[in-house]
């Protein structure tokens, strides 16, 4: 089935942004004169993926008011509201009833990348439940997150440690064991699924930035 739905994770408090997120949610902070989340929506529209689900919590009404139903990008945006915030895995679990495709794509709202989102359609999970995207380690994450071998197999340690991009393609059953409406992080779920050989990894060569601090808002977008 085509990967026709992208979920954008946008419920976090954005504490690393300090004063910048006291009155505005992080996804609406401008990066090179455009809100972070709008960069994603434009790339989604260019990839001809129509359905978008955005989870909301902290100042979520501002995001919903700004983006509306997505028609200005020729998108169909639906919102999954959380109170309290359910973390990454918990937020995805709550949103699954709104997600129209299986598998589907999940992207952190606070990253920027030149990766072509139309390439998501080429991702073949085969017997796996998820495909995670990785990049070379930036200065703020020099030790990386997971080892990835030449066949895309992942482990928690090794010589070839790479950084998780905050981008993944998932089958819905990846989240079967996540409790509904209970805060749950993806990292613990990743560890369990990697032990069982249910996740594959894929490197991207395109520019990737974690826009997690005020200083990184000044990062250039040319690679």
Place of tokens 């990785």: 134
Count of CA atoms in the C-beta half-sphere (13 A) of 48: 4
> What does the pLDDT look like over 53-93, one tens digit per residue?
999 999 999 999 999 999 999 999 999 999 999 999 999 99
Q: Residue 16 has what pLDDT?
A: 85
With a threshold of 0.85, does the pTM exceed it?
yes
d(CA 91, CA 97) in angstroms, rounded, equals 12
Q: Residue 20 has what pLDDT?
A: 86
Place of tokens 């395109």: 206
Res. 131 pLDDT band, cuts 50 70 90: very high
C-beta neighbour count of 123 within 10 angstroms:
17
> What does the pLDDT look like over 4-55, one tens digit per residue?
999 999 999 888 888 889 999 999 999 999 999 999 999 999 999 999 999 9
> What does the pLDDT look like over 159-210, one tens digit per residue?
999 999 999 999 999 999 999 999 999 999 999 999 999 999 999 999 999 9
Q: Residue 192 has what pLDDT?
A: 95
**Largest Cα–Cα separation, the chain:** 46
Q: Residue 18 has what pLDDT?
A: 83
Phi, psi of 72 (to 5 degrees): -70, -20
* CB proximity list for 92: less than 8 A, separation 6 or greater: 7, 9, 55, 106, 170, 175, 178, 186
Mean pLDDT along residues 113-125: 95
Q: Residue 1 has what pLDDT?
A: 45
Q: Phi-psi bin for 91: left (phi > 0), alpha (psi -120 to 50), beta?
A: alpha
How many residues does the structure list for the chain?
Answer: 223
In the predicted structure, residue 109 carries a pLDDT above the cut 90: yes
Q: Phi-psi bin for 80: left (phi > 0), alpha (psi -120 to 50), beta?
A: beta
């Amino acid at each position: 089935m085509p990967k026709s739905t992208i979920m954008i994770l946008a419920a976090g408090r954005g504490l690393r942004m300090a004063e910048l997120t006291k009155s505005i949610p992080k996804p609406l902070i401008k990066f090179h004169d455009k809100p972070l989340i709008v960069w994603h929506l434009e790339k989604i529209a260019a990839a001809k993926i129509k359905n978008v689900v955005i989870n909301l919590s902290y100042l979520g009404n501002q995001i919903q008011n700004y983006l509306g139903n997505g028609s200005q990008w020729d998108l169909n945006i639906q919102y999954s509201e959380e109170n309290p915030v359910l973390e990454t895995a918990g937020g995805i679990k709550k949103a699954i009833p709104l997600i129209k495709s299986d598998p589907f794509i999940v992207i952190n709202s606070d990253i920027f990348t030149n990766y072509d989102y139309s390439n998501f359609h080429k991702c073949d999970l085969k017997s796996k439940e998820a495909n995670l995207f990785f990049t070379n380690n930036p200065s703020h994450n020099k030790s990386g997150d997971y080892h990835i071998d030449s066949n895309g197999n992942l482990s928690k340690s090794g010589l070839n440690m790479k950084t998780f991009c905050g981008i993944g393609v998932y089958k819905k059953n990846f989240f079967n064991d996540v409790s509904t409406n209970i805060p749950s992080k993806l990292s613990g779920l990743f560890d369990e699924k990697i032990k069982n050989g249910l996740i594959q990894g894929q490197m991207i060569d395109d520019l990737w930035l974690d826009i997690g601090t005020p200083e990184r808002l000044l990062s250039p977008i040319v690679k």
